Amino acid sequence: MAILSLAFKSLLNRRVTVGLTIFAIGVSVMLVLGVERLRHDAKTSFTNTISGTDLIIGARSGSIQLLLYSVFRIGNATNNISWRSYQDIASRKEVAWTIPMSLGDSHRGYRVLGTTADYFKHYRYGDGNPLAFAEGKPFIDMFSAVLGSDVAHALGYKQGDPIVVAHGLGAEGFSKHDDKPFAVSGILEKTGTPVDRTVHISLAGIEAIHIDWKSGARVPGMGIDADAVRQMKLQPKSITAFLVGLKSRLATFRLQRAINDYRREPLLAALPGVALQELWDLMGTAEIALSAISLFVVAAGLLGMMTMLLSGLNERRREISILRTVGARPGHIFSLLVLEAGLITAAGALLGLTMLYLGLLAAQPLVVAEYGLTLSLGLPSARDLSILSLIASAGVISGTIPAARAYRQSLSDGMVARL
C-alpha cells in the first residue's frame, strides 16, 4: 500500500512527462480499440444489411459491385437491365417474389430508390426482420415517397411533406425534378441498414419524372405536368437491379446459372451471402494492416513509457537510496517502478477508452452519413476487455525492465548514492 501511494505521488510529481506518456498510450489504446470496433461494426452492419434474399440480379459486372450499388447504395451501376428480362425472370415458376430497383436520382444527398410495394413486403434485414412503418403507409399513388428513418430524422420530414427529387447523385443545386414534387406517404422504422438513408418512390414515379427528359437533361418545350402524367399508364423500360426470393432454396444455383447464361442480355446473379463474404475478404488485408499498425502504435507508446522510466532512474538514485535507508527492500524498489508502469498504462487505457467513446460520439453522425456504417456506442466488448488487459500486462511487463535496473542500482548504491 505504501509503495502504491509512493508510486502515485512520484508520478504526480512528474506530471508533464508522465502526462505526455499517458496521452501517448491513450492514443494508441484508442486506436487499437477503435480499429477493433470499426471492424466489428462493419462486419455486423454488413451481415445485417440483407437477409432472406436468394439472388441479386443486375447487369453483368462483378458481384461485389452489384452488391455495393443495389444493397449498399454505394457507387453506380455500369448498366441497366431491360424490363423485359426482368419480367421474364420474375415470371419463372421457381421465383416466389421479386423486388425491382431503379437507382440514379437523389434527394438532398440521399439516394432515391424506385421500387414497388413488394419492397416493403419482402425485403428482410438482420435476423429476417421485415421493414416496419413508423408512420404512414406504402405508396398511395405515383408521387408518393416512403422515407428511411435517417432521412426523415435528418431532414425533419413528416407525413405529407413535399419532396423534390434531384436528377443524378450530386449533392445540391443540380437539375431538379421540381415540376413533379412527391409527397411523403410513410416513414420507416430505423433498421441500421442503408434503407434508413434511402428515399423510396414507386417505379412509375421514376418514369414520370423522367418522361420529359432525355440524356440527363430536360427536353426544352416538352413540359408534361404532374396531373397529365398521373393519367398515363407508365411502365419502365429498364431497371437497375432486382432482388429475388425463391420458393425453394434448392433452386438457387440452377437459377443463378440460368441467369448468368441468359441469352438476351448479359446479366449477373449474385448470392448475397457469398458476395458479402467476398466484399469482406477484400477488406481483410486492410483490416489486418490496420490492426497491425495500431498494435505497433501501442508498442511505441509502451516503449516511450519505458524510455521515460529508464531515463528517470539516474536522477532518482538519491530518492531510491533514501527509500532503501528508511527500510525499503530492493523488492520494494522493483515494485515501485513496476507499479508506476502499471499506473501509467492503466491511466493510458482509461484515457484511451474515454477518447474512444468521445471520438465515436463525434464521428458517428459523419460515419453514418458518409459510409453508411453505424458505430456502436455500447459497453466495451469481451474482446475489448481482453485487448485492454493484454495492453495492461504488456505495460507492466515493460515496466519490469526499468524496475530490474532500479533493483540492481539499489543493491549496488546501497545507502549512499554517489552522485
To another protein, the closest distance from the beta carbon of 331 in angstroms equals 8
Contact between 323 and another protein per CB under 8 A: yes
Question: Residue 42: what residue type?
Answer: A
Out of 326, 370, 379, 382, name the contact with another protein by CB under 8 A. 326
If phi > 0 it is left, if psi is from -120 to 50 it is alpha, else beta; for residue 126 that is left
With contact defined as beta carbons under 8 Å apart, do 81 and 59 qualify?
A: yes
**Coil, strand or helix at 287:** helix
Residue with smaller CB distance to another protein, 338 or 356: 338
Contact segment (CB under 8 A) with another protein among 66-74, 198-206, 326-334, 350-358 equals 326-334
Question: Least separation, in Å, of the C-beta of 322 and another protein?
Answer: 6
Instruction: Write down the least CB distance from residue 339 to another protein, Å.
Output: 14
Q: Is 16 in the site for another protein (CB under 8 A)?
A: no
Give yes or no for residue 2 binding another protein (CB under 8 A).
Answer: yes
| Percent helix / strand / coil, the chain, rounded to 5 | 55, 15, 25
C-beta atoms surrounding 5 within 10 Å:
10
- Considering the complex, state which of residue 18 and residue 166 has its C-beta at the smaller distance from another protein: 18
Q: Does 322 bind another protein (CB under 8 A)?
A: yes
Q: Is 139 left (phi over 0), alpha (psi -120 to 50) or beta?
A: beta
Of 277, 307, 325, 354, which lies in the binding site for another protein, with binding defined by CB under 8 A? Answer: 325
Give min distance, CB of 171 to another protein, in A: 57
Amino acid, single-letter form, for residue 409: Q
Site string for another protein, 329-368 (x = CB under 8 A): xxxx------------------------------------
Radius of gyration of the chain from its Cα atoms, rounded to whole angstroms: 31
# residues near another protein by CB under 8 A:
23
Tell me how far the alpha carbon of residue 362 is from its chain's centroid.
Answer: 14
CB-based contact 24:348 (threshold 8 Å):
yes
Contacting residues toward another protein, per CB under 8 A: 2, 6, 9-10, 12-14, 318-319, 322-332, 414-416
